[in-house]
């Protein structure tokens, strides 16, 4: 089982940049065929209120670049020895976006830089990689996570598109004095429940990839993300409470010791169901999805910068992170935080 224990490593900074175009669900209601009753129901039950996206041509790396630049206003970038980019929306199929970011940020040519293709569990997977590199001898790692989800959510897909927001976060991890414990799981038997069918080697892009297809009451193309909402909901409400109990047991931590449970912001109903099962409603923020949309791997850091930045900046905390989704994959960590640099969430500047 993939379990990891680390000591003497700190998260030093978390910065998140979101898209600069705000879209309210009322703005898209006609396009999706929603009447006023359905809009109100989705706002109340699922938390669909608004989301922030970028204009066409802006990449996840651009959002992460802005986040990283803000970190380097406070920290010495010459100390960075590795750059990890976690995303499903890279700049190109090849080369690695992380290596392009190395040059854009003016980082040393002596660093290691690589991409990881993960979505909603990507923040946890990225932290495990960053902590492992420092545990192996490096001193400083820059982790960049996020997605321009508007790139793969079709304008007529009423099941997926109203959920999705664009965001990119940068996280600085260095040698320090704190501990962290992580667990991670993968189950590829459910890969078809969240998938972009065409554009890879298995199903290369063709003329048919751009044809509109009606499925599950929505219209999309084969180059867009498909989501089986019922399967993803059942998966999340089953495995996430078990995951959280597992990482608490592994880290020898009582639930009462956790200051915040910061989970991937999939949708409000999933978060409410998990919080109720665990009886942690007062410690589990769930506003991100309603204001900024589902930010994929940036939703955990995005929640911190949007709603918890004062506490993360000024207090010692013990927090539990949990990400879950595409793959299927799910992971969690119990992490000690000690007054990090966590400014308020910022919009992308052209």
Q: Active-site residues: which are they?
A: 120, 264, 294
Residue 262's DSSP bridge partners are 321
Encoded tokens for 70: 């803000």
Beta strands in 149-216 (DSSP E): 166-175, 180-186, 194-195, 213-215
Angle between helices 25-32 and 36-45 (to 10 degrees): 130
- Listed residue (314, 317, 336, 339) closest to 177, CA to CA: 336
Is residue 149 within 8 Å of 166, Cβ to Cβ? yes
The two beta strands, 2-6 and 180-186, are antiparallel
Residues 62, 65, 68, CA angle at the centre, nearest 5°?
155
Question: What Å distances lie between residue 80 and 135, 257, 284, 325, 335, CA to CA?
Answer: 15, 32, 32, 30, 21
Q: How would you classify residue 185: left for phi > 0, otherwise alpha for psi between -120 and 50, otherwise beta?
A: beta
53, 127 Cβ separation under 8 angstroms: no
List alpha helices for 174-264, DSSP H: 229-250
């Amino acid at each position: 089982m993939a379990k990891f224990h680390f000591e003497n490593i700190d998260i030093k900074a978390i910065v998140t940049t979101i898209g600069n175009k705000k879209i309210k669900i009322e703005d898209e209601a006609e396009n999706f065929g929603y009447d006023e009753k359905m809009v109100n129901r989705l706002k109340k039950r699922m938390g669909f209120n608004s989301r922030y996206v970028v204009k066409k041509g802006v990449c996840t790396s651009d959002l992460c670049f802005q986040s990283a630049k803000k970190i380097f206003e406070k920290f010495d970038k010459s100390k960075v020895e590795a750059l990890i980019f976690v995303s499903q929306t890279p700049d190109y199929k090849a080369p690695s976006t992380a290596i392009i970011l190395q040059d854009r940020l003016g980082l040393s040519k002596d660093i290691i830089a690589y991409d990881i293709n993960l979505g909603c569990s990507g923040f946890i997977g990225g932290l495990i990689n960053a902590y492992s590199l420092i545990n192996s001898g490096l001193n400083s790692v820059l982790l960049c996570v996020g997605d321009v989800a508007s790139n793969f959510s079709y304008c007529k897909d009423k099941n997926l598109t109203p959920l999705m927001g664009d965001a990119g976060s940068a996280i600085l991890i260095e040698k320090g004095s704190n501990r962290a414990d992580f667990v991670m799981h993968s189950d590829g038997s459910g890969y078809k429940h969240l998938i972009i069918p065409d554009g890879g080697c298995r199903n290369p892009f063709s003329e048919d990839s751009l044809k509109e297809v009606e499925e599950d009451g929505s219209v999309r193309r084969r180059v867009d993300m498909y989501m089986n909402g019922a399967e993803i909901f059942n998966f999340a409400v089953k495995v996430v409470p078990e995951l959280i109990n597992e990482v608490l047991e592994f880290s020898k931590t009582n639930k009462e010791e956790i200051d915040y449970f910061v989970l991937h912001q999939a949708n409000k109903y999933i978060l409410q169901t998990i919080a109720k099962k665990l009886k942690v409603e007062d410690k589990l923020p769930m506003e991100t999805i309603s204001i900024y949309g589902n930010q994929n791997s940036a939703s955990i850091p995005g929640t911190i910068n949007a709603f918890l930045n004062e506490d993360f900046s000024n207090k010692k905390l013990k927090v539990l992170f949990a990400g879950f989704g595409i793959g299927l994959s799910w992971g969690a960590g119990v992490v000690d935080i000690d007054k990090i640099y966590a400014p308020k969430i910022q919009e992308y500047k052209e």
